[in-house]
Structure 1
């Protein structure tokens, strides 16, 4: 009979009783192992605290990846390089191709770089082709660090300290860096105190924007707003009037009576113009009078026309 230790050949050695002993958790290979102390909430699978911790870690890794990909920009071309050095763009290096023709622009760039303590490095033309990504560099390229954007509040304070009625320019979804650079150049030329770009869905101050601005980005502060609509509302609460460029507006830029007041000119994207929320936030929208047959203007051209009109009225 099973379990009968009285029959012949069925005797057990002492201490080999089957089953568990009270408090032992099992014996030998069947013994239970303790789990140890209870882990923290953020280390427990499926715990809300762990999910929050994982999300924070993922965001940190994303920021680190973004920072690692942000490197110096190269401005290519003799005229853009000479203009940027003349304007005092914070550069870290000037690259010259071997055997470059030393015309007036190259001599000015090299002399200005040496005066500003910018290192001048001669490299083979093939290496300069690689560094500039095949851009038309004409044997000259300027290395600039990633742009250090200002805060919207700092730009406003800079405008107030100028002693003139503040005039700012805000871009709503302008994604072409050439347009960004051209708007910055117009803003500097017509007396604007700063430019505001949204953090998302907008061109940044890349080498292309630096080149198009012809160094103007070094003379005028540029701020990055997390939310453009909120930034415009904050500026309005400080006494500025928001004027948006809209081709469908019944008010012409020739009738812009707000030009002499504290103002922020809002320029829409190349295709769809102003977004709905930004348009609703503006105190007034204006259009540029044009002859028939032309639907719209480039964003930077439209911005230059309106800023010129604002500057003309302020001179009067």
Structure 2
């Protein structure tokens, strides 16, 4: 295998899920629709939570951050994938690949941690309501947000720099939707076994403890809910918990397949599919599951949109 770092000049070719699909046009239309759904729903949530002072509480500040992360994550990946498919040009520069990897790792890792903090917030609200303002003060909330962003960005910076310093072979085809560490390492013309172990450790560290914390929080929540005297309250809480856990399963499931399971257990095609779940599907579904069915959020949305409509009408 010839070693050639012409990738510095010519970049890479992304051969993602749209190129290997039997119905690429339909898949492209679906991905585009999901992107616009993510753009609209997350954008609305950001607007509503920002403008309504009644939502400036820890629970909704965490949801605001989740919407921001989802919006940025899907925007880093989806528009390029769709445009590349439409213009039939799947190339990405060396620098563009490094930047995309850094942003995806930062946003993905930050969301891993944030989802665990959100589960803890719900646990405190349901199981320890009298101590909620102490255990989940604004200071604690912002500390959680700062921890998510800082740990994620530092980890992403180190791994992105280390990945891109490898010599790459003449085959520039990355069999993936976007630049991500595991598929990119398959092009390296050097021994990557030690680094692959480091990537595995990163995956385990950033995925398994947050997932365990989420499952523990929801287990305690369900235990508390099952002892509620109200049947309606139990039913509502169970539906909410199950929908939250469905989204959590999609997010962490796809990421665990990519970063924790040995490569012999999954093919590049399966990697492509799993990456779609945590970069396209989940950002589109999160607002619908976590927020837009919430009475406080829908009420705030009506108030904000009502004010906007009144201000528009008053100008005519």
Shorter-chain TM-score tier = under 0.3
The structure that is helix-richer by fraction is 2
After TM superposition, the score normalised by the length of structure 1 is: 0.26
After TM superposition, the score normalised by the length of structure 2 is: 0.26
The structure that is strand-richer by fraction is 1
